[in-house]
A and B are shown apart, each in its own frame.
Chain A
Amino acid sequence: MLTLEAIVLGLIMGIFYGLMAFGLTLIFGILKVVYFAHGESFMIGAFAYSLLALWLGVPLWLAIPSAIVVGGVIAVVVERLLIRPLYEKFGDWQAMRDEYAIIVTFGLSLFLVNLANQIFGPYPFRGPELTDVARFELGPMIVGGHRLVAGAVGVVVLVAAYLFIQHSFWGKQIRAVAQNRFGASIAGIDTRMVSMMVFALAGGLAALSGALLAPLFHASPDVGVLPALKSFVIVVLGGMGSPIGSLLGGLILGVLESLGALYISYTYRDTFAFVILIMVLLLRPQGLFGERAREV
């Protein structure tokens, strides 16, 4: 019974991981570089939700979308200021885009964490729960009320985001740029617009993940660091640039962590993800669902 409960809790956690990893994999897909500041979109979402609801008394159904918008807008600003040179400049820049991307996004991550620290202080804010029902009984299992509602919201948004990428006109443009930026621009796709859209989407989804987890994780400046690292693990696990891989990878990681915490060690539960990452990179570098060879 414990096992089943752990699996269900892991799946719910996997939904939130999936929300983050989905955006990260899109960013990787169109830019082919690593983006270290993704966890800060999560942090921004958690703060935006908690503070809007606690300080300004915004109703919860409005606070969640507001958090998404805040996360998306900040990600677009970042794209405009720091990411654009990656694909607009050639020559010198193209030769060291990895170097630039790692340093600038790592610096950005530290910057945003410390900015939040400066503004809000290091104290955690506990976001309000979405429902008053403390616990749901699903047959023999007991699941926290907020966890279940937040998970449901997450599933709906994830499915919508997936359909958007797979079937909408915009989504097809994004996938075209991911396949070949140059070819896509010849076909008349506005690649700048697509990049901004991807960052808006990624920032918004990560912010949503942060907002939904704010009552469980609490909003503090460095709250995004661990989820960001885990979403990297998921992206590598699912195959870089594969949206469906990021969803499945999120669920897999959620369940593995949950079972590992139960049967192996609760203390070391946060290290499982990294062990998985190193093993995947060494044994199956293309990920579970990826096809591309891992050459850059």
Chain B
Amino acid sequence: MGGSRLRIRNEFLASLVFLAIVALLPVWVISPYWRGLLVVSMYFALLAVAWNLLAGYAGQFSLAPTAFAMIGAYTTGLLAHHYGLSPLIGIPAAIVVSGVVGMGLGRVVFRLRGPYLALTTLSFAEILRHVVRNAHEITRGEFGLRVPALFDSHLAYFYVFLGLLLAVQVGLYLMLRSPAGLYLQAIRDDETAAASRGVNVVFWKTTAFAVSGAICGIAGALYVHFSEIASPQIGHIFETGLVLASVVIGGMGTMIGPVVGAFLVEIASEQFRAIGVNHMLLFAFMVIVVVRFFREGLWGLVMLALGRRLAGPRRRARPAQAGGS
């Protein structure tokens, strides 16, 4: 167990170093375009971290991270649009709503595993997107909802997002090094064994869904105040693909991988878009190659280059099972 904690600590420290570098970037990065890009990167980093908590640490392959971002986005968006409430009420409301919906979803799907969980969460996300897209009277459908801005400058958004990302990383670190982290990883590695050792599987799965949903929700809420428009595109399946790509390319089940991965994916996306290359094509290809040939992602490669053996829960020793089911 000590190895696992040490690993998590090292990854956490590495992610702090990375965020510190990011914090200094506005000194050199002056153009609003690039600052905006960094803000969007941090939005994706929040989603990636939240999804990594569910998929990487708790082993729950939800395909609904952007659905929760959409819930957060529309909670604050609808409150502002219909009731004229300020973001100061809208954003906390977004956290609460997305967290509660996440808890509800977790409660509903706790019995499902593997493919069934992925399918159910994907269906949940698609239903939600269809409803948002078609309920014109309330959400204005594809036209999107105008949302008031929170600040005037990109720099303010930049530091708000950075602060949030930092807070989420610290919170996650504290959670993962507490017994809760071990429970989640035990559930991922073998749910039945975890339950037999007294881990309250239902409670911890539900909690993971709620926390992950709330993080996505606040990210989505802040994001629409930044972009000043809430549209069903936020919950599109390609956006889920980008989140998944960030985590897988960066290194799944690590504290730093999703953060770095999100920055790489988002910034590379923009560069490829600028030269007219389809960025999703490239990331989808990278996801396939990474998951097929080097599971540990970029962080795994870095660790390999540093010559350290990657001990830890990703290398699960389980007796080889011959045969199918």
Question: Which residue, A92, A96, A102, has most C-beta atoms of chain B within 10 A?
Answer: A102
Main secondary structure of the interface of A (DSSP, over half): helix
Give CA–CA (A30, B325) in the complex, Å. Answer: 10
Say yes or no for A94: interface residue by CB 8 A criterion.
Answer: yes
Contact A82 B131, beta carbon cutoff 8 Å? no
Q: Is A197 an interface residue (CB 8 A)?
A: no
- The interface residues of chain B lying within 8 Å CB-to-CB of A109 are 284
Contacts of A98 in B (CB 8 A): 61, 113-115
> Chain B: which residue is nearest A109 at the CB level?
B284
Tell whether A114 pairs with B321 under 8 Å between CB atoms, given A106-B241, A229-B123, A274-B123: no
Assembly CA distance A94 to B323 (angstroms): 10
Identity of the chain B residue whose Cβ is nearest the Cβ of A233 in the assembled complex: B123
Contact B323 A229 (CB under 8 A): no
Q: Is the contact region of chain B dominated by helix, strand, or loop, or is it mixed?
A: helix
| Residues in B whose Cβ lies below 8 Å from that of A164 | none
Question: What is the distance, in angstroms, from A111's C-beta to the closest C-beta of chain B?
Answer: 4
Is B255 engaged at the interface, CB distance under 8 Å to the other chain?
A: no
Counting chain B residues whose Cβ lies within 8 A of the other chain, the interface size class is 35 or more
* Chain A positions within 8 Å of B248 at CB level: 103, 107
Shortest beta-carbon distance from A284 to chain B in Å:
13
Q: A182-B323, A278-B123 are in contact. Are A34 and B288 (CB under 8 A)?
A: no
A114 to chain B, nearest CB (A): 4
Q: Looking at A94, A111, A181, A273, which has the most chain B CB atoms within 10 Å of its CB?
A: A111
- Interface flag for B78 (CB, 8 Å): no
Contact A277 B119 (CB under 8 A): yes
Tell me the A residues contacting B by CB distance below 8 Å: 28, 30, 32-34, 82, 85, 90-92, 94-96, 98-104, 106-111, 113-115, 117-118, 177-183, 225, 229, 232-233, 236, 267-268, 270-271, 273-275, 277-278, 281-282, 285, 292, 294-296
A82-B288, A177-B324 given; name 11 further pairs at CB < 8 Å.
A99-B55, A103-B248, A107-B241, A107-B291, A113-B280, A181-B323, A229-B123, A229-B126, A274-B123, A277-B119, A281-B120
B contact residues vs A (CB 8 Å cutoff): 55, 59, 61, 63, 108, 111-116, 118-120, 122-124, 126-127, 130-131, 134, 189, 237-238, 241, 244-245, 248, 278, 280-281, 283-285, 287-288, 291-292, 315-325
The 4 closest A-B pairs by CB, nearest first: A182-B323, A34-B115, A111-B284, A90-B320
